[in-house]
Structure 1
Amino acid sequence: MSTTPAPDHGQGFVASVVIPAHNEERGIARNLAALLDGAGPLDIIVVCNGCTDTTAEVARGFEPAVRVLEITEASKSAATRLGNASSDVFPRVHLDADVALSGADLGRLLEPLARPGVLATAPQRVIPRDGCHPVVRWYYDVWEQLPQVRNGLFGRGAFALSREAQDRVSSLPTVMSDDLAASDAFRDSERLVVETATVMVWPPRTIGDLMRRRIRVVTGNAQASQVGVRRADSATGLSTLWGLARRRPALVPRIGVFLAVTVVARLRARRAARAGDFTTWQRDESSRA
């Protein structure tokens, strides 16, 4: 493991940020540039895990504002554990390397954590559809309207935790769908989606990459259910889709596309779930173009 020396914590950091990064040379500069825009003093840790590209070199271009750690294992969970162990600064922000959250928006996530009872926050998603296949656009038109998706912390690539919340999340079993497990670790009253904060989450552009992403999510959800960290009310049932169709009749054709993608993803994920393969990462590359 190679490291950049830890900074002096006497600098008065307002939060720490842990960013696991596996072969993210195309997006890590965008991620860090956004994060440093309007930010207060942050302890930012990029943990490059199993990288075979120039992710670490690109991230080191942002030193000394950023610390870069490297491990040989390609594992998001291992990278997250190392990042958490490398800082004692709270609140703790968990940020995916392929999204963009500005420093100003990060600050908006921190404010509610000072309120009694609020342990975890996340920003609103912005999912640009430019260049996406129509099936991808229609899928996300429905997905974004689901109440579980609107209210949960998952699928945003960013969430902030108080010290108490981090302790709770750190005690969870290691699962592929780490953001779902983190979201479901809190009661609705303990977590908050901050309306004034946004994060840019790039979707897959092709049908093939959409399927790869959804197969990964379905497999991870199955694992989370197996180990007991997924709440029953975080799953989307037919009744939810029926209610959405009644409220938004114009979405009915898109709901059909959403159902088709969901059924195919579940069928393709079944083999991995039955075999207990919760380590193969179905990664989409078109969202990183």
Structure 2
Amino acid sequence: MTSIVIAAHNEGAVIGRCLDALLADAKPGELDVTVVANGCTDDTVAVAGARPGVRVLDLPTPGKAGALNAGDDAATGFPRIYLDADIVLSTAAVRALTEVLESGTPSATVGRELDVSGRPLLVRAYFAVHGRLPVMRDGLFGRGVVALSRQGRARFGRFPELVADDLFLDSQFAPEEKAHVNAYAAKVATPRRTGDLIRRLIRVRGGNAAMRAAAARGEITVPVRPAARSSWLRDVVLPRPWLAPAAACYVGITVWAALAAKRAGDGGAAWGRDESSRIADGESAAQR
């Protein structure tokens, strides 16, 4: 039985479609689905609870790490899929991930489809570069879907109280231990406004900085993927000179966010640790 853990904070608007897609073609007893509502003030619990067979935990305090740990405690099966509440993943995609993991690969994810329709020019320009970064093709992050085998999950204990849970999971596995089931894709909503994009980048930079700071202190014992700071130029723009105008937007937005993250907490490290107690899963991929 494949277990799916969904940490959700105020996701009443999207959790229904997420669960309906998962369960649409599922056979009885095929999937073990746990939704962990954490600190919700909307109807997330009611919407998730209306789906037959879905286990719903209602935690009073927001926090993604706590939600993931609670979901792990309740889940009964393997492989195990950690899914963002705003991602639509079909039953067929779950089966494909399960097949790959049961063949011996410890971790897997699906492809990534960026939704930039109707977005402002600066957001589209940013993702014209960001969407082509090699790190977004070979990592486990950026999709809202991470699947682990029993052996893969045994690589670590509890999820740490850090924002960058996807970077934490990615760091557990060598490149050859990460399978990408590209026959299926997670449709990731990009920010609808440039300001939303910048706020998202500040959070991401702060969370990643906190993760790397924890590794430097010895609190995280696996090698954390370093930031590939020149990849946008070397791997994306130089082979595609026509992307130069988009690259100018990409660099400007990135630098702006980096400076803001530094002001927020010495490069984001302190910010990321404090913020982990308040930011929960359920923020859309466009916001994180």
Compute the TM-score of the two structures, normalised by the length of structure 1: 0.88
% identical aligned pairs: 37
Cα 1:231–1:237 change in 2 (3 A) is farther
The counterpart of 1:198, out of the listed 181, 185, 196, is 185
SS at match of 1:20: strand
Mapping of residues 262-281 of structure 1, within 5 Å: 262-274=254-266, 276-278=270-272, 279=275, 280-281=278-279
Equivalent position of 1:58 in the other structure: 47
Deviation, structure 1 residue 240: 4.5
**1:122 and 1:194 in contact (8 A); partners too:** yes
- Quote how far apart the aligned CAs of 1:108 are: 1.1
1:176-195 to structure 2, matched below 5 A, reads 176-195=163-182
What amino acid maps onto 2:41 in structure 1? T
Equivalent residue, structure 2, for 1:20: 7
Instruction: Work out the CA distance in 1 between the residues paired with 2:227 and 2:137.
Output: 12
Q: Does 1:69 align with 2:67?
A: no
**More off after superposition, 162-171 vs 215-224:** 162-171
Q: Secondary structure at the match of 1:276?
A: helix
Matched, 1:103 2:91: yes
Secondary structure, counterpart of 1:247 in structure 2:
coil
Number of equivalences: 273
Correspondence list, 1:163-182, <5 A: 163-171=150-158, 173-182=160-169
**Which residue of structure 1 lines up, in the alignment, with residue 37 of structure 2?**
48
Structure 1 residues 111 and 234, CA gap change in structure 2 (3 angstroms): farther
Aligned to 2:21: 34
- Tell me if structure 2 keeps the 8 A contact 1:213–1:284: no
Deviation at 1:142, TM superposition (A): 1.0
Q: Partner of 1:5 in structure 2? A: none
Distance 1:89 1:119, change over 3 A: same
Instruction: Establish whether residue 78 from structure 1 lines up as the match of residue 70 from structure 2.
Output: no
* Aligned match of 1:248: 240
Distance 2:138 2:285 in 1: 27
The 3 A distance-change label for structure 1 pair 26 and 138 is same
Deviation, structure 1 residue 171 = 5.0
Distance 1:286 1:86, change over 3 A: closer
Task: Please tell me the residue identity of whatever aligns with 2:244.
Answer: V
Residue type of the partner of 1:205?
A: R
Flag the 1:126–1:37 CA change in 2: closer, same or farther, 3 A. farther
Q: What are the superposed Cα offsets for residues 130-154 of structure 1, whole Å, 9 maximum, x if unpaired?
A: 1211211111111111111111000
Amino acid at match of 1:219: G
- Preserved contact between residue 209 and residue 285 of structure 1 (Cα < 8 Å): no
Q: Pick one of 112, 119, 129 that aligns with 2:100.
A: 112
Looking at structure 2, the residues matched to 74 and 110 of structure 1 have their Cα atoms a distance apart, in angstroms, of: 30
Q: CA deviation at 1:50?
A: 0.1
TM superposition score normalised by structure 2: 0.88
**In the alignment, is residue 238 of structure 1 matched against residue 230 of structure 2?**
yes
| SS at 2:5 equivalent | strand
- 5+ residue gaps in structure 2? none
Q: CA RMSD in A?
A: 2.1
Deviation at 1:231, TM superposition (A): 4.8
Of the structure 1 ranges 169-178 and 72-81, higher mean CA displacement relative to structure 2 is found in 169-178
